[in-house]
Amino acid sequence: MQGGSSRCHRIGAVSCGVLSRDNSSHDWCSVLHTADSLAPEWLLEPRDANALAAGVWPASAQRQPDGAVTIGGIAATELAQTYGTPLLVLDEDEVRSRARAFHDSFADAAAEHETTTRVYYAGKAFLSTAIARWVTDEGLNIDVCTRGELEVALAAGVDPARIGFHGNNKSVSEIERAVAVGIGTIIIDSAIEIERVAAAAARAGRVQQVLVRVNSGVHAETHDFLATAHEDQKFGMTFADAEAAVARIRELPALEFSGLHCHIGSQIFGVAGFRESASRVLELHDRLRAGGEIAQLNLGGGFGIAYTSVDDPTPIEQLAAEIVTAVAEGCAARGIPIPALAFEPGRAIVGTAGVTLYEVGTTKDVRLDSGMSRLYVSVDGGMSDNARPALYGAQFSARIASRVSQESPVLSRVVGKHCESGDIVVDHEYLPGDVTPGDLLAVPATGAYCVSLSSNYNHVPRPAVVAVSEGRSRVIVRGESIEDLLARDAGISTNEGAR
């Protein structure tokens, strides 16, 4: 538990399993499962297996009198009919309002402490030209980490000065392209990169602003953080290496050192990890001021979202106020000016704006020797459009979106169509017992790291992405066809020339 809250928190794949029956966010859940169930401890049997949990779905999601779920004012049934399934439905207004909330919350918090903030949308969560335009319209900047992401942002017309470029292995050609287009900031991840960026900037006749990514030793894990003396992972530099890196950057006329960067992880609840990390990075920031004033401090992304009804992320207004206050207090304690701050949310902007629609193909009651059973519900997608359960054991939820049912809920597992037993979409969920082939199943909170991690495993085409807003829909990423899949096979006669 965190911050004295009585609510249940879950980070990534791990449920804390603490139940709070009098909590308003849980009041639609009633029955605690028993030891003779295959249900995990955190999953409550719902009173109503048709209910849409607040915070997990886009704010526009509703049940209509005919039972269908609408998103952005359009019935899921109509969307499935028009575009086919699987289909990722992205609520444009939800993305925009979350982008605005981040922008405004950090701006307000910064104004309180007489500084400024910049919020970069982390494009790795899901980037398309439409999304890049929505978030930049709402005042955000964009963080990219490959040439591909950079080109999408540029194709969307994003001002290169509003783009930050990350990555632990940016190639020389990626760096040259970024410098040539006038990218705002490059985040240096290793000593080798300093020379590469300086050479590219010198060749282009530019002075390139750079940040140095450091590893604060704060590890975001479960709902708390663990401080580790040695971080054994590929990103960032130790404080000692960063000091040397900054000294070298300051020697190079083609580079301008803008500040430090630190990202502690993803799907983080609460502010404790951010606060601890900021306090450690400020120590280095303070030391480095001996070599000249430092304009900014970037504390990265990682703000958690609700994937199931038991997740209870801290509201962004509160996060922003507490994090900025912590930095301001840290600066005051050291007697130094508060730098301009930057943040890089990805998941928290698009995650709960996305709902994936699948059609149920088969169902199977799987009974174990122990007598316990689970209903397997197979859908027409799977780990190719949502790799998160297979990769991280991530939890999602599901509802029938084409109708309501008064049948008693049964413990179910939603699985995909791939040739792998780990091809799970929703590991644990209670679905109405009469869920049947032809039902439309909706999995909410799939806006982040689903499309961006998608694959063609088993030669399954990747689904289309459709944006919805105020009763209108439009394709923002075209779905793949079988022809698209075959087009890359150089052994097919029409592609012979590609050999």
Positions that interact with ligand LLP (CB under 6 A): 122, 124-125, 143, 166, 263, 266-267, 300-303, 344-348, 388, 392, 449
Contact indicator for 192, 213 with CB cutoff of 8 Å = no
> Crossing angle for the helix pair 172-181 and 191-204, nearest 10 degrees?
40
**Smallest separation, CB 343 to ligand LLP (Å):** 8
> Smallest distance from the beta carbon of 21 to ligand LLP, in angstroms?
29
Nearer to ligand LLP by Cβ, of 363 and 452: the residue is: 452
- Least distance (Å) between residue 349 CB and ligand LLP: 8
Closest distance between ligand LLP and the C-beta of residue 177, in Å? Answer: 20
* Residue 303 near residue 348, CB atoms below 8 Å: yes
Q: At a CB cut-off of 8 Å and minimum separation 6, what does 17 contact?
A: 8, 40, 41, 42
> Quick check: 28 and 50 in contact, CB under 8 A?
no
Q: In this structure, how many other beta carbons lie within 10 angstroms of the beta carbon of residue 448?
A: 26
Q: Which is nearer to ligand LLP, 83 or 307 (CB)?
A: 307
CB atoms closer than 10 angstroms to residue 251: 10
**Least CB distance to ligand LLP at residue 122 (A):** 3
Query: Residue 351 CB, nearest distance to ligand LLP (Å)?
Result: 8
Nearer to ligand LLP (CB atom), residue 20 or residue 238: 238
Nearer to ligand LLP, 143 or 193 (CB): 143
Which is closer to ligand LLP, CB of 113 or CB of 347? 347
Closest CA to 418 of 399, 450, 390, 398: 390
To ligand LLP, the closest distance from the beta carbon of 453 in angstroms equals 6
Compare residues 92 and 189 and give the one whose CB is closer to ligand LLP. Answer: 189
Complex with ligand LLP: residue 23 or 318, whichever CB lies closer: 318
> 338 and 328 in contact (C-beta within 8 Å)?
yes
193 phi, psi to nearest 5 deg? -65, -25
Using CA atoms, how far residue 371 sits from 366, 367, 421, in Å, is: 10, 6, 21
Instruction: Give the residue numbers marked as catalytic.
Output: 419
Residue 338 beta carbon to ligand LLP: minimum distance, rounded to whole angstroms: 21
User: CB-wise, 76 or 125, nearer to ligand LLP?
Assistant: 125
- Shortest CB 150 distance to ligand LLP, Å: 15
As measured in angstroms, the least distance from the Cβ of 304 to ligand LLP is 8
Q: Please state the three-class secondary structure of the chain as a single string.
A: CCCCCCCCCEECCEECCCCCCCCHHHCCEEECCCCCCCCCCCCCEECCCCCCCCCCCCCCCEECCCCCEEECCEEHHHHHHHHCCCEEEEEHHHHHHHHHHHHHHHHHHHHHCCCCEEEEEEHHHCCCHHHHHHHHHCCCEEEECCHHHHHHHHHCCCCHHHEEECCCCCCHHHHHHHHHHCCCEEEECCHHHHHHHHHHHHHHCCCEEEEEEECCCEEEECCEEEECCCCCCCCCECHHHHHHHHHHHHHCCCEEEEEEECCCCCCECCCHHHHHHHHHHHHHHHHHHHHCCCCEEECCCCECCCCCCCCCCCCHHHHHHHHHHHHHHHHHHHCCCCCEEEECCCHHHHHHHEEEEEEEEEEEEEECCCCCEEEEEEECCCCCCCCHHHHHCCCCCCEECCCCCCCCEEEEEEECCCCCCCCEEEEEEEEECCCCCCCEEEEECCCCCCCCCCCCHHHCCCCEEEEEECCEEEEEECCCCHHHHHHCCCCCHHHHHHC
